[in-house]
Amino acid sequence: MRLPLFIAALCVATPALSADLIVSFRDGAPKDRFTLTYEGSCASQATQVDIDLGTAPAGLIFDITGAGAGVEVFQPLEWVVGTARTTAVTDGDTVVSLELEPLAPGETLAFTVDIDDTTSSRQITVNGSEMVGATLRADGQEALFDATGTARVALTKCQS
């Protein structure tokens, strides 16, 4: 009878803690901004994050040079809060991959870049509703961006 009590005590002593990664997009002039916020109750593991604009119906692309697929204004990807290893993004790409180091609870990272749409007459302005359907992938999970330009994935739960 002691063994089941011991196992139950172990389960109570090390509860799984929540760990969500929230990515929000905000249109700006001349730079658009992605903010990554870690809402976890413990430090995260190193995580690869993919932001895939290609799944959005608005035909979104990264516009990082003046001689490429984008229109008018362009902006390269630039980290403005914190940093992460980032795959090379070329003009017209639809996916950026980020390698995040472990994040502390409440930690925020942000980068700016120019996003254009390829399906409307206002290609240089991308609002949250045009992000609908873009995909956030992290830690084997995926979520779609909503009309507010926000996506949330539940990362692997950590142990206290």
Q: Over the chain, what is the mean pLDDT? A: 83
Query: Which structural domains are found in the chain, ordered by start?
Result: 17-159 (2.60.40)
**pLDDT for 18:** 66
Mean pLDDT of 109-117: 92
Has residue 121 got a pLDDT over 80?
A: no
Q: How high is the pLDDT of residue 24? A: 96
**Rounded distance, CA 100 to CA 84, Å?**
5
Band (pLDDT 50/70/90 cuts) for residue 131 is confident
Neighbouring C-alpha atoms within 13 Å toward the C-beta of 97? 6
> Distances in Å between the alpha carbon of 25 and those of 18, 42, 45, 134, 145?
23, 25, 23, 11, 9
* 7-20: pLDDT as tens digits: 444 444 444 466 89
Whether the predicted model's global pTM rises above the 0.95 cut: no
Residue 3 has pLDDT above 50, yes or no: no
Question: How do residues 33-81 score in pLDDT, each as one tens digit?
Answer: 999 999 988 899 999 999 999 999 888 999 888 776 656 678 899 999 9
